[in-house]
Structure 1
């Protein structure tokens, strides 16, 4: 009975440590950690992923209460790091949508429909990107991602503060480096539109070019979103797969 009790205690401790890391990561994951989901749904998702990951990871054994607190804190921090790596990719779509909307004068259309305030283009890109990722098997990739996290950082390990700062700076830079090319077609179209509008205004000062040109930039922005969204989302999905494969790698 004593052996069975120790074994049960070790298994419960193992599941608890996994749940702390997985729960922290799931709270930031795209799709699984959205604000639109209730806390109960997020808790159920975290528990399911914990049950999947636990058999594939080594257990810490029997721990004292002080060790549980110490290792548990490190596990929560590690989970937040791995969750943030994916969350920044969603922020890249959000940023790209904001830049595109500001460039094409569509920043205020349906701006309050998302749980997090963003322009309509950002809402469409974020929702489409998350949907694409889930349809293409993100739940399987996430399970592999969480298991891989234990290879990179075993239970109780923590990233050194200087390494964490360097990694965070690189990931934020990578996010902007991804967002700007995604929004580039809209910025280029806006530049061409404003140059043409300026030339027409110089040639015909009496013409109210702003009222004449507004429908064109609006239609052009919507057309670019319709025509370019599939390519933009595939580029974003490639970046997502790269992060899932190497979350702590150096940004390109």
Structure 2
């Protein structure tokens, strides 16, 4: 019986090598993936998720995985670039969560609500508006099939950066600058209604203070801008999340646009 199983040994070694090679990239990508890689998710659950994603992705890219290295140095030289590559692709998805955090911070600062802190999925506390946007955006992404989109994104990453080839510095610089620019631009776009309301508030407050210097306009204006900010959030939050979700889905459908 053992003699009959011996021909299967090379196949099992190849399967283990393919799974290990894929797992290295996906584990680092999953560490910063929205929802699945957030800090409240226990480490054991993240490990199980990484294994499950590996089982999904490995059959699709198995032909592109090279042969098993002959020695430990070659083994490390092949897998080391995969760690950086996985982190590189995962950070661009994390940027969308940072976009909601930045938009929430801008909105809270503009409407004097920055002192009201909410919960956080990270280490540092953030304003309640930012926390609400992050939780809502993460829930929308998860309900829209984030696991399927993430698996497709992981497979597509091997088209953009083949196994064991590493990342070109020019590619990292170009894609990094473009995505960081989009992150801040989208955050400013989402928070634009609050910035406009803050501008109008300060102009009106200045006119009133100029007309009646003896009036303590700050005591009158502070409750008004706070109530207005909460009302504005009620009206604009669905629109903000809709724009964010459309941008996120567009990125997941065609990562990095025409990047070869």
Q: TM-score, normalised by structure 2?
A: 0.91
Residues 13, 63 of structure 1: 8 Å contact kept: no
Q: CA deviation at 1:166?
A: 2.2
> How far apart are the structure 1 equivalents of 2:126 and 2:51?
31
> How far apart are the structure 2 equivalents of 1:243 and 1:31?
17
Aligned to 2:189: 181
* 1:248 partner SS: coil
Aligned to 2:250: 242
> How far apart are the structure 2 equivalents of 1:176 and 1:224?
21
Q: CA deviation at 1:208?
A: 1.3
> How far apart are the structure 1 equivalents of 2:7 and 2:165?
28
| Deviation by residue 1:219-241 (Cα, 9 ceiling, x = unmatched) | 11111111111111111111111
Q: CA deviation at 1:165?
A: 1.9
Runs of 4+ in 1 over 6 A off after TM superposition: none
> How far apart are the structure 2 equivalents of 1:194 and 1:10?
67
> How far apart are the structure 2 equivalents of 1:63 and 1:39?
30
Give the length in aligned residue pairs: 251
Q: CA deviation at 1:250?
A: 6.6
> In the alignment, which of 9, 12, 15 is matched to residue 11 of structure 1?
15
Aligned to 1:166: 174
Q: CA deviation at 1:106?
A: 0.4
Matches within 5 A, 1:16-165: 16-58=20-62, 59-64=65-70, 65-111=72-118, 113-116=120-123, 117-165=125-173
Residues 6, 62 of structure 1: 8 Å contact kept: no
Q: CA deviation at 1:2?
A: 4.7
> How far apart are the structure 2 equivalents of 1:60 and 1:231?
47
Cα distance, 1:108–1:114 mapped onto 2, change above 3 Å: farther
Query: Which blocks of at least 5 consecutive residues in structure 1 are unaligned?
Result: none
| Deviation by residue 1:62-96 (Cα, 9 ceiling, x = unmatched) | 33233321221111111111101101111111111
Residues 82, 247 of structure 1: 8 Å contact kept: no
CA RMSD in angstroms comes to: 1.7
Q: TM-score, normalised by structure 1?
A: 0.94
> In the alignment, which of 213, 228, 241 is matched to residue 221 of structure 2?
213
Residues 35, 138 of structure 2: 8 Å contact kept: yes
> How far apart are the structure 2 equivalents of 1:131 and 1:139?
12
> How far apart are the structure 2 equivalents of 1:220 and 1:156?
54
* 1:57 partner SS: helix
Q: CA deviation at 1:160?
A: 0.8
| Deviation by residue 1:10-54 (Cα, 9 ceiling, x = unmatched) | 100100011111101010111111111121111111111111111
Query: Which blocks of at least 5 consecutive residues in structure 2 are unaligned?
Result: none
